Amino acid sequence: MPTITRLPHLRGEPSEITDLGDQMYANLRSQGRRASIPISYGESEDLQDRLFAAICYTHRGKKGFLPKGQLAGLVHEESVTQELTRCLSATHSLRAIQNYARQACYDSTPQTTEDEQNSPRNKSFRNVFAILVLIEKSATIDRFLNEGVSDADLPLVMVKRLKKSWQYDLCRKDALDQPLECFRRWTRMAIMNFEEWQWTMLAPFLTKGERKNVKHYVLQDQAILPFTDDSRRHDNAHQAEELGGGFGRVFRAEIHPDHHDFNDPVVRLSPVCFTNA
């Protein structure tokens, strides 16, 4: 397992980022410095089509990532209600469907207390629902709502079942011995699809912070970096800008604008570095 290098800590602002930058992004949104992008599509396109169309694919061969600014513009009460009506109208009332949509799209406000945010009724499930739509499991959202498996729990961790080496459970990262009930009766392939596609929703937000300290991101191997281009792509040896050293490689990259605050005049520029968890 790669060693995590501890960088110097400056009082008042953490140097090590372990939440993919989610807290910084949430802070910027609450300050009005990040906005959702309104998206319009033809009526013939369902939510799955819209999500796939919005995914930004990198050139490195991995699955793409959904830009943060597009999530709320795609997954909102109206679109969730439409999607759930399509798959649940035969078994659920419109009122129940609308209630699911309202819970899934909950947004906390700057005045929301930490206790309120941690309440099962006050969690956001937008990322979870988007994953379920992508893997054609949107009809199971009620199980996630009932168990409180929300965006805050992502990424979920795949754990091998005892005595069944070919079967796996998905668990919260802080409760690896407690399989989640919402995945009960899912096939092995469906569980693998959820684990794989969750990373599409989890591209990190890169921040330079308010000080000149280096931001150190601790990332899992599966994390998809929000790079739209990088200097390794060029075939010309004079254009390929990559420097090697004793602890890794350095190259220039273009980062999707939804995933950094480097142009924000409020903060100063500082570099970031990454290690594997």
Q: Residue 123: is its pLDDT beyond 70?
A: yes
List pLDDT tens digits, range 207-235.
876 665 667 788 888 888 888 766 555 54
pLDDT of residue 264: 58
Tokens linked to 44? 């013939």
Q: How deeply is 156 buried, as exposed, middle or buried, from its count of CB atoms within 10 A (0-12, 13-18, 19+)?
A: buried
Task: Kindly state the average pLDDT of the residues 76-90.
Answer: 96
- pTM tops 0.85: no
Cα–Cα distance measured from residue 179 to residue 157, given in angstroms and rounded to the nearest whole number:
10
Cα–Cα distance measured from residue 139 to residue 86, given in angstroms and rounded to the nearest whole number:
9
Q: Name the pLDDT band for 269 (thresholds 50, 70, 90).
A: very low
Q: Residue 252: is its pLDDT beyond 80?
A: no
Tokens linked to 229? 């281009």
Higher pLDDT, 12 or 152: 152
Q: What value does the mean pLDDT of the chain take?
A: 78
pLDDT of residue 3: 34
What angle, rounded to 10 degrees, do the helices at 126-134 and 94-104 form? 120
